[in-house]
Amino acid sequence: MMFVNFDLVTSQKTGEKDRLGNDITKNVVKRVAKGRFTEWSADDVSLYGRDLTSSARKLLTNQVSKAEAKQASHVVIDGSKYKVESVKDLGRWRLLVIKGYRL
């Protein structure tokens, strides 16, 4: 298995507001962890549809707690930013469905 390093990033309020009264947030690296990409199965494609499975990836890790994974707004892997779409708790492991542009 090949593991990759990734940054788990959360949005944190700065305490300031913009002209419209919205909170201004900044991205903070919560944790640097290791995980691996997993493949989409035929069942996943039929369940989620081709639209999601063609543009999203699955990241499996055991170094991030469920609470940390749920708070994450995105992950950064090798300079590429991926939005966290969903988090699934698999006991000891966390499965993050992440979406981003694939080159």
pLDDT tens-place string over residues 63-99:
999 999 999 999 999 988 999 999 999 989 999 999 9
With a cut of 70, say whether residue 1 has pLDDT above it: no
Token pair listed for 71:
């708070």
Asked if 35 contacts 63 with a C-beta cutoff of 8 angstroms, the reply is yes
The CATH number of domain 4-15+24-99, selected from 1.10.720, 2.40.10, 3.30.460, 2.60.120: 2.40.10
The residue extents of the domains of the chain are 4-15+24-99
Dist. CA 102–CA 71, nearest whole Å: 24
Enumerate residues 6+ apart whose C-beta is below 8 A from 11: 25, 26, 27, 28, 73
Model pTM score: 0.81
